[in-house]
Amino acid sequence: MRLLIIEDHPDIIANIVDYLEAAGHTVDCAYNGPGGLHLALTGQHDLIVLDVMLPGMDGFQVCRNLRESGKQTPVIMLTARDTLDDRLHGLRLGADDYLVKPFALAELEARIEAVQRRARGGGQRLQVADLTLDLDTLRVTRDGQTIRLNPACLKLLEILMRKSPGVVRREVLETAMWGDDPPASDSLRSHLHLLRQAVDRPFPQPLLHTVHGVGYRLAAEDSGG
């Protein structure tokens, strides 16, 4: 997805951008209300992450102006003020969701995906060769057979499928799974072993490939090394 982040705190915006770009999204940024509104009106974005407290024009006014202009790009508002009145005000102005600071980056990504699914009218499915993942039901199938995965393997599979046929670096997978505090043991290797056993072992063609010294890729052919 192409995303627009409107947030005036440099550290917060840097963390959001690093996380979302590592997950495969393209991210544009604005650091104040007027600049954010300009990019929102003139650009083509799949979703906007909009802070409430902004210099020049607050997020409520940005959202109001955006909707009054006829622009219907989905909006998730960010705020440090966890009051019902604030949340209701943003939603009445046309925001699609609300996230209170501080928040986990994984939750923001999940909210982005959920809002996008609603905006697209429901179901969304990822597919690589004969392997599919239904993002609404979390049902995984390959060649018509249902594959049961634990939550960690499901998360890894979704990341790899979204990036396919590209390579996902080990550190990106570790950050997505455990944030800035990955476990000391090689848990990632163990989870990927379980994932490979589930999605590849019963089938003649392997899809999950190790790119030695770099990371992993999910594709019908191992052209990544």
Amino acid found at 126: L
Kindly report the number of other CB atoms within 10 A of residue 209's CB atom. Answer: 21
Q: For the segment 119-168, what is each residue's pLDDT rounded down to a tens digit? A: 765 556 788 888 998 877 788 999 888 999 998 899 899 889 888 888 88
**Kind and range of the H or E run holding 99:** strand 97-100
Tell me how far apart the alpha carbons of residues 115 and 20 are, in angstroms, rounded to a whole number: 15
- The answer to whether the peptide bond before residue 165 is cis (omega within 30 degrees of 0) is yes
C-alpha dihedral sign at 161, 119, 77, 32: positive
Mean pLDDT of 35-64: 93
In whole angstroms, give the CA distance from residue 20 to residue 7: 15
Q: Give the global pTM.
A: 0.55
The answer to whether the CB of 160 falls within 8 A of the CB of 167 is no
What is the torsion angle, in degrees rounded to the nearest 10, for the CA atoms of residue 36, residue 41, residue 42 and residue 46? 90
Q: Output the pLDDT for position 121.
A: 59
Domains of the chain: 2-119 (3.40.50.2300), 125-218 (1.10.10.10)
Q: What percent of the chain has pLDDT over 70?
A: 93
Query: Which among 149, 118, 112, 109 has a CA at the least distance from the CA of 133?
Result: 149
Q: Residues 160-185: what's their mean pLDDT?
A: 82
Q: For residue 170, what are its two tokens? A: 């080990």
Total residues belonging to the chain:
225
Which sign does the torsion angle of CA 165, 166, 171, 176 carry? negative
Q: What's the confidence (pLDDT) of residue 102?
A: 86
For residue range 57-91, list pLDDT tens digits in order: 999 999 999 888 888 889 999 988 766 777 777 78
Alpha-carbon distance of 72 to 9, in angstroms, equals 25
A 10 A CB-CB count for 91 gives 15
Residue 1: the pLDDT is 83
83 or 55: which leads in pLDDT: 55
Give the largest CA-CA distance in the chain: 59
* Residue 4, CA distances (Å) to 7, 37, 56 in order: 10, 10, 18
Contact criterion met (CB below 8 Å) for 209 and 217: yes
Q: Which secondary structure element, helix H or strand E, spans residue 7, and what is its range?
A: none
Q: CA-CA distance, 176 to 158, in Å (whole number)?
A: 11
% of the chain at pLDDT higher than 90 = 43
